[in-house]
Amino acid sequence: MRTAVHDRGGVAAIEFGIMIPLLSLMVVSVTDIGLALYRKMQVENAAQAGAQYAIVRGFDETGVTSAVTAATNSTAINASPKPYQFCGCPTSSGVSTVSCGAVCPGGAQAGTYAMVSAQGTYYTLINYQIVAATYTYSAQSTARLQ
């Protein structure tokens, strides 16, 4: 009995057994964060792909929507809200909407723009109880066509 009290054999195995769930949770959590960031980048790239389509081929709602969904292999990404075309003037804070044919404050004609939006949902790998189980990412891209 005295030797059993001072015996240290198997202590490493017991410590490993205690630590492996914590280490596994850490690995899954880091992977989950990486996948969530990747989904966010996919949504941003899909919105940019739709705007690039409108620049190259002209504004076509169906074509732009197809470009957004085809930009990634994820079925969780879509063009929402629908892409639209508008006339506007560039300002320091973005593009202000004006009627087509209007003259901008700088004296130039109002340009034609396309606004493309993409939206995607990410579902976490496990339910962490302290954070949401789903995240919805959205991105917009505005491009001048003329």
CB atoms inside a 10 Å sphere around CB 144:
14
Of all residues in the chain, the percent with pLDDT exceeding 70 is 95
Long-range pairs of 94-97 with CB within 8 A, sequence gap ≥ 24: 94/142, 95/142
2-45 pLDDT per residue, tens:
666 666 777 888 888 999 999 999 999 999 999 999 999 999 99
Rounded Cα distance, 81 and 71, in Å: 17
101-112 pLDDT per residue, tens:
899 988 889 999
The domains of the chain are located at 2-144
Rounded Cα distance, 44 and 38, in Å: 10
What's the pLDDT score for residue 139? Answer: 97
Strands 134-144 and 84-91: unpaired
- Average confidence score pLDDT of the chain: 91
Rounded Cα distance, 126 and 32, in Å: 8
Rounded Cα distance, 11 and 63, in Å: 64
What's the pLDDT score for residue 78? Answer: 94
Task: Say if residue 121's pLDDT is above 80.
Answer: yes
